Amino acid sequence: MSSESFIFPSPQWAEAFCKALNENPEYREAAKDWVWDVVFVATNVPSTVVNAIAQLMGLSGVTSNAGAMKFKLRNGTCQGSEFYIDASKADADYILEADYSLWKDLIQGKVDPVGAILSRKIRVKKGSFLTLVQFSSAAIKMTNTAMKVPTKFLA
Amino acid sequence: MKAATYKGPSKPYLEVKEVPTPKPGPGEILVRVAATGICHSDIHLFKGDFGPVREGFIPGHEISGWVEDFGPDVKNPWGLRKGDPVIVSWIVPDGICKYCASGKENYCPAAAGRMPGLVGINGGHAEYITIPEIAVIPLEKGVDIYYAAPIACAYGTAYHALREAGVGPGTSLVVIGAGGVGLSAIQLASAMGAYPIIAVDIRDFALEKAKELGATHVINSTKEDPISRIRDVLPDGADVIHEARPEPDLKLSMEVVARAGTIVVTGLGGPKSTFTVNVLPFVINGVRIMGSLGYRPRLDLPEIIKLVASGKVDVRKLVSHTYVPEQINEAYENLERGLHARAIVKWG
Ligand SMILES: [Zn+2]
Ligand SMILES: [Zn+2]
């Protein structure tokens, strides 16, 4: 693994996560029947983080306090990622939204993803809750994968 | 008298003709019919979904009219007199069994075997009907007798379902299917203080009607994703979901019901309809799923009539189409095409 680490959330982090999913056979097995695009939205992102992302993307005058990452997930693989500084522009079959701090806790292994969904700390804004619940082992493998991505939290 | 009688399971289902005027038997009241409602259950009846129907049977189970005559041995608990406006319940309980004694007269076994216009006894698509007196409920003065006919079915069914599900002030409600029962539910729930009230249907005109009757949000599920729209309004889900469409499947309901919420179903489905429910979310969210049949004639109908008489529920807003008896086959045709909010036939 390289010594490089990625700001969360950012286009670079999304790309690294997508790659890490493809390298994880446990995720591939648990998500083999998953065939939908997913957007993860982080809300209440601290301004230091937003400013850093904007700089990374070469944008100026960004007023957002959110970020959205879209992943094209098919049969246990990740076929691409996108990043949106304007979360309202990100659309997919599933949209899962949570506070920046919740995603941070999740990636640091402090929060269980299934519990976070069931307790609605992660809000299922779009998509079938009932289908999602059937993929709880995939959600856990996905979180384990995220924990392996070298991540830099600026706040 | 003039009556619409059953011909058979292919269209046209009915024939309008002269038949003998019935005479009230012991314990019965003769009612001169003002209006009858055109209800989706009739289509099930005509197609034989409830069992074979004899030729010559008179359907029509949403009935309003005037007291015309009394048979022998009538006890007349409401003190009715000739000419009084009434509605006729299609639930005709015996009034003496344990279900009746516990206020669940809609589940009275005797009522299951005699439903005017549906099972056993002739209904109200005629100028007159004779009916056991327990099914005759007085209408308050000032309530439009013609538009009152749907109280005896669509409103009654909706009201009982809402009451059973615990709808009251501040209850968040989703109504799936804005047909006669669904629209009645929206109008009644609004009068009962439910908020917000979200209507889901696939027909824009039905959703327009839903808005007029008190829906705070309307969703056309062919144009928008109902799950995400409902979660935008109610992130934690709805306290009560009323599945009022003819073919309920519980899919959307289970996605958007709140924890400890209730799904109440009034759509009858076809003879082979089933639901599938995911066990885990059903149990861990403590979801209540309940069926609700009709209404309690002696308890629910007078309460609805009071809501109407007080002006909180305007029954004239629900009825979108009025027909004369000779147009009755056309009325059912239009019902099957989904054109009605609610339709009535005027007989007198
Ligand atoms: Zn009916
Ligand atoms: Zn009984």
The CATH number for A98's domain is 3.30.1050.10
Percentage of chain A lying above the pLDDT 90 cut: 86
| CA distances (Å), origin B271, targets A97, B182, B260, B268 | 42, 21, 30, 9
Which residue of B224, B228, B241 to mutate against A (max A Cβ within 10 Å)? B228
Domain that holds residue B125: 2-153+295-346
Tokens of B77: 């608990």
Q: Which residues contact B145 (CB under 8 A, 6 or more apart)?
A: B34, B35, B64, B65, B66, B85, B139
Q: Say if residue B58's pLDDT is above 90.
A: yes
B121 shares a domain with B252: no
* Cis omega (within 30 of 0) for bond into A113: no
Q: Which residue of A has its CA nearest to B236?
A: A120
Tell me whether residues B231 and A126 touch, CB distance under 8 A: yes
Tell me whether residues A120 and B236 touch, CB distance under 8 A: yes
Q: How far is the CA of B62 from the centre of ligand 1 (A)?
A: 6
- Domain final position from B276, B291, B306: B291
Q: For B178-188, write each residue's pLDDT tens digit.
A: 999 999 999 99
Out of A118, A128, A133, the one facing B227 most closely (by C-beta) is: A128
- Residue whose C-alpha is closest to residue A84's, from A15, A153, A6, A9: A9
Instruction: Output the CA torsion A28→A29→A34→A38 (10° steps).
Output: -40
pTM of the model: 0.87
Write down the mean pLDDT value for chain B: 96
More confident residue, A135 or B50: A135
Q: Using CA of residue A63, residue A68, residue A69, residue A70, what is the dihedral sign?
A: negative
Number of domains in chain B: 2
User: What is the per-residue pLDDT for A3?
Assistant: 65
B306 shares a domain with B283: no
Return contacts of B7-13, CB within 8 angstroms, 24+ apart: B7/B55, B8/B55, B9/B46, B9/B47, B9/B48, B9/B53, B11/B329, B11/B333, B12/B329, B13/B46, B13/B329, B13/B332
Domain that holds residue A94: 7-146
Residues in chain B: 348
Which residue of B255, B284, B287 to mutate against A (max A Cβ within 10 Å)? B255
Number of domains in chain A: 1
Helix (H) or strand (E) holding A93, with range, is none
- Domain final position from B267, B291, B315: B291
Domain at B171, CATH number: 3.40.50.720
Q: Where are the beta strands (DSSP E) in chain B?
A: 2-6, 14-18, 28-38, 63-70, 85-88, 128-132, 136-138, 173-176, 197-201, 217-220, 238-243, 257-265, 288-291, 321-323, 343-346
Q: What three-state secondary structure class fits B325?
A: helix
B287 shares a domain with B179: yes
B301 shares a domain with B252: no
The pair phi, psi for residue B340, each rounded to 5°, is: -95, 145
B176 shares a domain with B276: yes
B6 shares a domain with B110: yes
Which residue of A130, A131, A137 to mutate against B (max B Cβ within 10 Å)? A130
Tell me whether residues A127 and B227 touch, CB distance under 8 A: yes
Percentage of chain B lying above the pLDDT 70 cut: 100
Residues in chain A: 155
Instruction: Work out the average pLDDT over A1-11.
Output: 83
Give the pLDDT band (50/70/90) at residue A62: confident
- Residue appearing with tokens 């327990």: B134
Which residue of B221, B229, B231 to mutate against A (max A Cβ within 10 Å)? B231
Q: How far is the CA of B227 from the centre of ligand 2 (A)?
A: 41
B149 shares a domain with B7: yes
- Residue appearing with tokens 């998953």: A34
CB atoms within 10 A of CB B275: 15
With respect to residue A151, please indicate whether it lies within any of the assigned structural domains: no
Cβ–Cβ contact A52 with B under 8 A:
no
Give the pLDDT band (50/70/90) at residue B46: very high
With respect to residue A153, please indicate whether it lies within any of the assigned structural domains: no
Inter-chain contacts counted by CB atoms under 8 A, chains A and B: 29
B81 shares a domain with B24: yes
- Domain final position from B275, B291, B307: B291
With respect to residue A134, please indicate whether it lies within any of the assigned structural domains: yes
Q: For B131-148, write each residue's pLDDT tens digit.
A: 999 999 999 988 999 999
B261 shares a domain with B247: yes
Q: Say if residue A2's pLDDT is above 70.
A: no
B190 with B312: CB under 8 angstroms? no
Q: Say if residue B85's pLDDT is above 90.
A: yes
Q: How far is the CA of B134 from the centre of ligand 2 (A)?
A: 11
Q: Where are the beta strands (DSSP E) in B238-334?
A: 238-243, 257-265, 288-291, 321-323
Q: Say if residue A1's pLDDT is above 50.
A: no
Cβ–Cβ contact B279 with A under 8 A:
no
* Cis omega (within 30 of 0) for bond into B196: yes
B207 shares a domain with B134: no
Instruction: Work out the average pLDDT over A25-29.
Output: 97
B134 shares a domain with B165: no
Q: For B103-126, write each residue's pLDDT tens digit.
A: 999 999 999 999 999 999 999 999
Q: Which residue of A has its CA nearest to B234?
A: A125
B-facing residues of A in 77-106 (CB < 8 A) are 95
Tokens of B193: 């203080």
User: What is the per-residue pLDDT for A23?
Assistant: 97
Q: Say if residue B305's pLDDT is above 80.
A: yes
Helix (H) or strand (E) holding A55, with range, is helix A47-57
Instruction: Work out the average pLDDT over B65-88.
Output: 98
Q: Are strands A123-126 and A151-152 parallel, antiparallel or unpaired?
A: unpaired
Tell me whether residues B228 and A130 touch, CB distance under 8 A: no
In B, which residues are within 8 Å of A95 by CB distance? 228
Q: Using CA of residue B183, residue B232, residue B240, residue A135, what is the dihedral sign?
A: positive
Q: How far is the CA of B14 from the centre of ligand 1 (A)?
A: 17
Cβ–Cβ contact A137 with B under 8 A:
no
Cβ–Cβ contact B225 with A under 8 A:
yes
Instruction: List b or e across B36-54, with b for residues whose CB sees 16 or more CB atoms inside 10 angstroms.
Output: bbbbbbbebbbeeeeeebe
- Residue whose C-alpha is closest to residue B291's, from B270, B262, B256, B314: B262
Cβ–Cβ contact B284 with A under 8 A:
yes
| CA distances (Å), origin B327, targets A144, B8, B35 | 68, 17, 13
| Degrees, nearest 5: CA angle B242-B321-B44 | 55
Q: Where are the beta strands (DSSP E) in B223-341?
A: 238-243, 257-265, 288-291, 321-323
The amino acid at B11: K
Cα of B259 to nearest chain A Cα, Å:
10
With respect to residue A2, please indicate whether it lies within any of the assigned structural domains: no
Cα of B256 to nearest chain A Cα, Å:
9
A50 with A62: CB under 8 angstroms? yes
Q: Using CA of residue B105, residue B173, residue B88, residue B76, what is the dihedral sign?
A: positive
Q: How far is the CA of B97 from the centre of ligand 2 (A)?
A: 4
Q: Which residues contact B79 (CB under 8 A, 6 or more apart)?
A: none
| Helix, strand, coil % over all residues of chain B, rounded to 5 | 30, 25, 45
Instruction: Give the whole-angstrom CA distance, residue A124 versus residue A132.
Output: 9
CB atoms within 10 A of CB B306: 13
Instruction: Work out the average pLDDT over A106-125.
Output: 92
Q: For A29-39, write each residue's pLDDT tens digit.
A: 999 999 999 99
B119 shares a domain with B15: yes
